[in-house]
Amino acid sequence: MTKNPFYNAFAAIIYIVVIVFSINLIADKEVNDGLAQFITPIMMLSLFVLSAAVMGYVFCYQPLRLYLDGKKKEAVSLFLKTVGVFSTVPIVILLLYLLGILS
């Protein structure tokens, strides 16, 4: 990723939006056979592992490189800034929901 926490957080948000959009598209299709009961847990666990890997890359790759290059303060700062920028999105969504704007 980049050394810009806004780009890193934006990449994470875009990934989440794409995943949610994809799940909604799949959920709209009705599956009435027993195979869905077998496949659904496999797909959800696979998605969880994939998401952990993608988010690990988005949030940790550049800070880890900086840390290993001896730029420890810059690495920690970039990581915390990325997490801070990213955390504003769920907080804003929660506030809008609690205020009744999103319902």
**Distance from CA of residue 55 to its chain's centroid?**
6
Whole-Å CA distances, 75 to 3, 18, 64, 71, 87 = 9, 28, 7, 6, 18
**pLDDT (tens digit per residue) in 80-89:** 999 999 999 9
Exposure of 26 in the CB half-sphere (CA atoms within 13 A): 11
**Number of domains within the chain:** 1
Domain containing residue 87: 5-98
Per-residue pLDDT of the chain (103 residues), as tens digits, is 788 999 999 999 999 988 888 877 776 665 556 666 677 778 888 899 999 999 999 999 999 999 999 999 999 999 999 999 999 999 999 999 999 998 7
Q: Is residue 15 part of a domain?
A: yes
**pLDDT (tens digit per residue) in 51-61:** 999 999 999 99
Q: Is residue 66 part of a domain?
A: yes
Query: Which pTM was predicted?
Result: 0.76
Q: Is residue 76 part of a domain?
A: yes
Exposure of 44 in the CB half-sphere (CA atoms within 13 A): 7
